[in-house]
Chains A and B, each alone.
Chain A
């Protein structure tokens, strides 16, 4: 099964992926990028909050939380 450009928010808990691109250029995306979420960065999807939003991911050795809406603009390439 090949996943071409899935959204970060569509990963399953525990799954890892590599950021391929951003779907939009806006202030929110820039903030994520400043936090180290860049094309080529490996991320691990840790969990959704019990109420479905926000999400928690792991990147560069630390845990980051972001809302689903924010995670929607992060695209994940085919996992290796």
Chain B
């Protein structure tokens, strides 16, 4: 099997044979990620499975003999059924259905020792896949605290596979696990769950068909047959091998027959499995003292309390928001300053000309425009990591689910949307905490409606133009600003509801999940996740943002203005031409071609609108905080027919346009990275621009009909 390029350089010894591949599986909250991190250290690689939005994590660890072992971290799941793409990927990788991923040679199945019974549901399903399995009994400390003694040896004997007791967060049991992984004679388990007789006959026929039509060996045919029969509807993901039609049809025929002859046969399979697990648990787990209410339950009496619960949640979310909104600001200013300083140095070092402008204003400013997002991304993912690690994230979703489920979303969509008030980039990256891909997508599609901080300078300029100083109480301005925030938020919720009803039709995602026991955060895992997100952003989105910002620089600087006209470079440029070409389309909104240039320029960053307006209206001094000179200048601008440009209606129309329009290349780049294609960012650009146009049209033309100017 071929070794990916990125891993080749990391082999310490020259070994001819391909490294073994292990897959790590387990329930959410089993400590799977901590274990994966402990095994692979920093030798990790994050990418997407081709064609799907599921993230693929792979790392390398070394056996006792120094041989490299590839480890694939599969998405966490409660069972092997494929109801979502995450779960389908897990199934497909384990069964070797994906050409982009080798079938694992063995599986590491991580169990929470304090909750063996439910975790064995997935574990026994994994055993039946026929691959050699190592079971890791993780969180032995937590089990002991709960008065449970889990006998690893007995479990190993009962299941016929190696069982390792561990505490991955403290590094205990890792050596034993590595030794087990190094053994050449790892065994597959003979364990099989009893099934109803008719189901067994269906299994026989299915296996026969699979062996004949797809050339499967018996070890692969059994789990294939089992999962094909039980999964319904099977979630097929792009990039996985399709099955022969004969087999698929046979599976349907048998499902129908089972439905008729054993109503509720799927439930019966679950019951039979839990019966077996029950017998196993009585043998293996010993209760030392009767259970007292756990610490987590006592904490939850406060944290999920109607009053205290929301107070704590409000404080936590307030801190999260404050940190990305305010705490990140000095860091971003510093990056901004640094970019300016580097640009200044280069400007001095290089001879004047287009190349210097490209390097300073295109490349350096573009790189600065990418790096500037890092403080917010790092801070947000520090908080998210902390919330997930301690178990509070599930509680936040529990408290907020009612609000979000009203528009068909999951409680977990709240944090990405809240973060988007500061900046859509980290907000969209935070959607990865949402398990259901459809809901992740809906949240991504509406996140840019949340008023981000880059819109604020535009709003402030327009409000100042609309309500000149001293003509109205400050409360009116604040009220206007609040309305704009409300409009954006309302738009986000409306379109979330709309998409869930139409384009991405689907039931409100299930909230069936464990509320895990509270734990102390594993700081290393939190920091690692933070760093990983930053790297993913820089590598996958940063490059696109840089490319787009250089493209924008070209649009705004070429073709060149004739000598003596340099100050109106923008109107001579491609961007200026685009502004003019757009005039017939934007006229009904009350925008003239100069405003259009500002709208085009906003794609680099919305706040650029302010400086673009200063440039197009040839205002030199815009450094004062209130934009006084710019506001005055805007007031005096006249259209060709002599009427003022910035009438109150134009200002309102422009603000409404900015509430809804997706004018941000960075957002497009990050959506491309998160959805793994250009389709969705382009769709977003289209629908949001349409909404913005219609909104501004209604305001401007409606206002005129009512007799305003």
The reply to whether B117 and A31 form a contact with Cβ atoms under 8 Å apart is no
Within 8 A of A (CB), among B284-307: 291, 296-297, 300, 304-306
Once A65-B511, A65-B512, A70-B512 are accepted as A-B contacts, the answer to whether A34 and B121 lie under 8 Å apart by CB is yes
B266 close to chain A: CB less than 8 A: yes
For residue B78, CB closer than 8 A to chain A, the reply is: yes
Interface size (A, Cβ < 8 Å)? 33
- Does A4 reach chain B (CB closer than 8 Å)? no
Report the nearest A residue to B281, measured CB to CB.
Answer: A60
A56-77 residues at the B interface, CB under 8 angstroms: 56, 58, 60-67, 70
In the complex, A35→B115 CA distance in Å?
12
Instruction: Determine if B350 is an interface residue (Cβ-Cβ < 8 Å).
Output: no
B270 CB–A CB distance under 8 Å = yes
Q: Is the CB of B515 within 8 A of A63?
A: yes
Q: Answer yes or no: B611 CB below 8 A from chain A CBs.
A: no
Picked from A31, A38, A51, A61, the residue with its CB within 8 Å of the CB of B510 is: A31
A79 near B: Cβ within 8 Å? no
A62 adjacent to B118 (CB under 8 Å): yes
Q: Give the docked Cα–Cα distance between A54 and B118 (Å).
A: 21
- The answer to whether the Cβ of A5 comes within 8 Å of any Cβ in the partner chain is no
Would you call B675 an interface residue if the criterion is a C-beta within 8 Å of the partner chain's C-beta atoms? no
Mark contacts of A11-22 with chain B using CB atoms, 8 A cut-off: 1 yes-contact digit, 0 otherwise.
Answer: 000000000001
Task: Give every chain B residue within 8 A of A38 (Cβ-Cβ).
Answer: 267, 270-271, 274
Q: Is the interface of A mostly helix, strand, loop or mixed?
A: mixed
| A64 to B83 alpha-carbon distance, docked (Å) | 19
Are B263 and A51 in contact, CB atoms less than 8 angstroms apart? no
Chain B: CB-nearest residue to A39: B271
**CB neighbours of A80 from chain B (8 A):** none
Complex Cα gap A52–B400 (Å): 11
The answer to the question of B309 belonging to the interface, with a C-beta cut-off of 8 Å to chain A, is yes
Q: Which of B300, B401, B512, B515 contacts A31 (CB 8 A)?
A: B512
Task: List residues 83-138 of chain B with CB under 8 A from any CB of chain A.
Answer: 83, 114-115, 117-118, 121
B515 with A54: CB separation less than 8 A: no
Question: Please, which residues of chain A bring their CB within 8 A of the CB of B398?
Answer: 49, 54, 56, 65
The distance in angstroms between the C-alpha atoms of A31 and B514, with both chains bound, is 12
Known contacts A35-B118, A36-B117, A39-B271; A61 and B305 CB within 8 A of each other = no
In whole Å, how far is A35's beta carbon from the nearest beta carbon of chain B?
Answer: 6
Known: A33-B267, A36-B274, A62-B115. A50 touches B515 (CB 8 A): no
Chain A residues with Cβ below 8 Å from B146 are 61
Chain B, residues 67-92, CB within 8 Å of chain A (1/0): the string is 00000000000110101000000000
With A62-B115, A65-B398, A65-B515 in contact, do A53 and B405 touch (Cβ < 8 Å)?
yes
Is B219's beta carbon under 8 Å from chain A?
Answer: no
Q: Does B399 contact A (CB under 8 A)?
A: yes
Closest residue of chain B to A50, judged by CB? B306
Q: Which of A49, A53, A60 contacts B118 (CB 8 A)?
A: A60
Closest to A60 in B: B117
B79 proximity list for chain A (CB < 8 A): 31, 34
In A26-52, which residues have CB < 8 Å from any B CB?
Answer: 27-36, 38-39, 46-47, 49-52
Closest Cβ neighbor of A36 among chain B residues: B118
B121: chain A residues at CB < 8 Å are: 34, 36
Q: Is B402 an interface residue (CB 8 A)?
A: yes
The closest CB in chain B to the CB of A66 belongs to: B512
Check B264 against A35 for contact (C-beta < 8 Å): no
Q: From the candidates B83, B114, B304, B510, name the one contacting A70 in the complex (CB within 8 A).
A: B510
Q: Does chain B have a CB within 8 A of A1?
A: no
| CB of A34 to closest CB in B, whole Å | 4
User: What distance in Å separates the Cβ of B80 from its nearest Cβ neighbour in chain A?
Assistant: 9
Shortest Cβ gap from B402 to chain A (Å): 4
Chain A CB within 8 A of B394 CB: yes
Residue of A25, A28, A34, A58 near B264 (CB, 8 A) is A25
Contact B510 A49 (CB under 8 A): no
A30 touches B270 (CB 8 A): yes
Given contacts A22-B267, A62-B115, A62-B118, contact A32 B512 (CB under 8 A): yes
Q: Which residue of A lies closest to B507 (CB)?
A: A28
Residues of B within 8 A of A67 (CB): 401, 405, 508, 510-511
Are A47 and B271 in contact, CB atoms less than 8 angstroms apart? no
A56 touches B115 (CB 8 A): no
Within the assembled complex, what's the spacing in Å between the Cα atoms of A36 and B402? 25
Contacts A31-B83, A36-B121 known; 8 new A-B pairs at CB < 8 A: A31-B78, A35-B118, A36-B117, A39-B271, A62-B514, A63-B296, A65-B513, A67-B401
A/B interface sample: 24 pairs, CB < 8 A: A22-B267, A25-B266, A30-B266, A30-B270, A33-B270, A34-B78, A35-B78, A35-B514, A36-B118, A39-B271, A49-B304, A50-B306, A51-B402, A54-B511, A56-B300, A60-B115, A60-B117, A61-B146, A62-B115, A64-B513, A65-B394, A65-B514, A67-B405, A70-B511
Q: Which A-B residue pairs are the 8 nearest by beta carbons?
A: A51-B402, A50-B306, A63-B515, A34-B79, A33-B270, A62-B115, A36-B118, A60-B117
Which residues of A come within 8 Å of B, CB atoms?
Answer: 22, 25, 27-36, 38-39, 46-47, 49-54, 56, 58, 60-67, 70
